[in-house]
């Protein structure tokens, strides 16, 4: 029996590291945008709840891909639930952070939109990757 090492120098290891780097970079981007004072934000014609839903939906998929690279023996649904919970926790910390930013407010409705986006996106990703395995 041949044991293949999965480390940073193996192709699978590079893929896993890349997923984590992308996830952390996206989370840093969200944090940076959350630190902008309210009076400096551009006036957009789209509901901020829709923006939160899309923003955290993408975060949910990135989180799923990062977690899924490590937990290859776990059921995909378990990885999905873990990803959604991690995104909700990050959304809660983001709202807490906004509480301290001038002219920004922390809203439970924003956290609800974050949770909805993560849940829908991860569910969609699970359905899509079950059908089109090349996406995994």
For the segment 84-127, what is each residue's pLDDT rounded down to a tens digit? 999 999 999 999 999 999 999 999 999 999 999 999 999 999 99
pLDDT in tens, 6-37: 555 666 678 889 999 999 999 999 999 999 99
Note the pLDDT of residue 20. 94
106: left (phi over 0), alpha (psi -120 to 50) or beta: beta
Confidence of residue 5 (pLDDT cuts 50, 70, 90): low
């Amino acid at each position: 029996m041949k044991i293949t090492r999965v480390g940073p120098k193996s192709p699978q290891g590079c893929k896993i590291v890349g997923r984590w780097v992308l996830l952390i970079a996206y989370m840093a981007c969200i944090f940076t945008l959350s630190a902008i004072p309210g009076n400096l934000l551009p006036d957009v014609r789209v509901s901020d709840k829709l923006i939160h839903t899309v923003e955290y939906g993408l975060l949910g998929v990135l989180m799923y891909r990062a977690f899924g690279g490590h937990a290859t023996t776990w059921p995909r649904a378990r990885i999905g639930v873990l990803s959604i919970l991690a995104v909700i926790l990050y959304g809660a910390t983001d709202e807490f952070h906004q509480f301290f930013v001038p002219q920004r407010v922390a809203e439970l409705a924003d956290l609800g939109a974050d949770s909805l986006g993560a849940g829908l996106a991860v569910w969609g990703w699970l359905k899509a990757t079950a059908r089109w395995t090349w996406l995994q």
